[in-house]
């Protein structure tokens, strides 16, 4: 069974990489400010929009600033590692939770859970395709499935929360 310490250890190892930590910080600041502008432009709720932008920066910072192990370099090896959905391990659990804060805040900001869920699934797929092309991570179907499952659950919970608040 997973425990909080293994998940926190995984997060600590990731943030120990200056590229990940710097990308995470820069992305969160830039996208948070961009979300504030978008909230004004589109009539979204500003506070959850800013948090959605910050969490988008976290997602992009974490997923696009990783290094690729030598055994997985593309084009020498397969473009995408095909595996199934699993929550067995701290990395798998973190992938399932990665999009949850972003989707939750985006639904609260826009009040459009279906559009947010579809966008999050598309973003996850895009990230997985782009990672091997730019040499900043691995394309893995398990990551896509875990990210997507977490995003869909978060959108459904946020929609339920909004319905109860009305």
Q: Read off the pLDDT band of 8 (50, 70, 90).
A: low
Predicted pLDDT at 136: 81
Can you state the angle between helices 4-15 and 18-42, rounded to 10 degrees? 100
pLDDT of residue 65: 76
- Which secondary-structure segment (H or E) carries 67? none
Q: Which two tokens stand for residue 154?
A: 């978060």
What is the residue range of 51's domain? 4-165
Question: Nearest 5 degrees, angle CA 82-CA 118-CA 23?
Answer: 70
In terms of average pLDDT, the best of 29-38, 79-88, 150-159 is: 150-159
**Per-residue pLDDT tens over the stretch 103-158:** 999 999 999 999 999 999 999 999 999 998 888 888 889 999 999 999 999 999 99
Tell me how many domains the chain contains. Answer: 1
Structure confidence at residue 71 (pLDDT): 64
Residues belonging to the chain: 166
Residue 123 backbone dihedrals phi, psi, to 5 degrees: -65, -45
Q: Which of 62, 69, 76, 73 is closest to 124 using CA atoms?
A: 62
The DSSP letter of residue 89 is S
Query: How does residue 75 score in pLDDT terms, banded at 50, 70 and 90?
Result: low
Percent of the chain residues past pLDDT 90, beyond the cut:
50
């Amino acid at each position: 069974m997973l425990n909080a310490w293994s998940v926190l250890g995984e997060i600590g190892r990731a943030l120990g990489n200056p590229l990940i930590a710097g990308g995470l910080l820069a992305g969160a600041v830039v996208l948070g400010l961009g979300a504030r502008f978008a909230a004004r432009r589109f009539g979204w709720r500003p506070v959850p929009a800013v948090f959605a932008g910050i969490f988008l920066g976290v997602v992009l910072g974490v997923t696009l600033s990783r290094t690729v192990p030598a055994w997985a370099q593309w084009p020498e090896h397969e473009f995408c590692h095909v595996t199934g959905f699993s929550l067995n391990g701290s990395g798998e659990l973190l992938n399932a939770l990665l999009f949850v804060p972003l989707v939750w805040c985006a639904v609260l900001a826009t009040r459009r859970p279906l559009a947010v869920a579809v966008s999050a699934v598309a973003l996850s797929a895009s990230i997985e395709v782009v990672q091997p092309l730019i040499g900043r991570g691995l394309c893995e179907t398990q990551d896509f499935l875990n990210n997507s499952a977490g995003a869909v659950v978060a959108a459904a919970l946020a929609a339920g929360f909004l319905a109860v608040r009305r």
